[in-house]
Amino acid sequence: MCHFQNENGRTITYDAICAAMNGQPFSMSLTDQDEIKAIVAAVNEGIDAHLEACYCPDRGDRYDGGTRKAGQLVLCQTLECSISPESLPVLLRRLFELGDEAGNRLASDILTILGFNEYGEFVGREAMGLA
């Protein structure tokens, strides 16, 4: 499988995701517990029925627990993520396949950050008002 459908049923190819990433890993720091649970569910699937994985440390993929602090006071727990261009399309597909609100919201937000509009078209970060 080399594509998936976004929340609006629009097809997005793995190649388009990789091109939008320009060879750089995608990094994010999550604090929302439902989004963290969605990532954990997607990553813990291992190699799926499509024979694809989204956690390959040799590609540079990292999912580490962390904290947000104000001085010595811990404000919240975090999940620190760095996802390779090869793994992110698989992670996005899995998040949409979870079929829950948090997974869909997170996958949609990642696509927006990369520069994809709601129609699944890559329009760039500037067009999305992010640059």
Q: How do residues 34-59 score in pLDDT, each as one tens digit?
A: 999 999 999 998 777 778 888 999 99
Placement of tokens 């999912």 in the chain: 63
* pLDDT over 90 at 105, yes or no: yes
Instruction: Give the pTM.
Output: 0.92
Res 1: pLDDT: 55
Indicate if the pLDDT at residue 12 is higher than 90. Answer: yes
Q: What is the pLDDT of residue 45?
A: 85
| Cα distance between residue 48 and residue 80, in whole Å | 23
pLDDT value of position 117: 96
The residues near 73 (Cβ < 8 Å, ≥ 6 apart) are none
Provide the pLDDT for residue 50: 75
CA 111 to chain centre: 8
Instruction: Quickly state the pLDDT bin for 131 (edges 50, 70, 90).
Output: confident
Average pLDDT, the chain: 94
**Other Cβ atoms within 10 Å of 61 Cβ, number:** 20
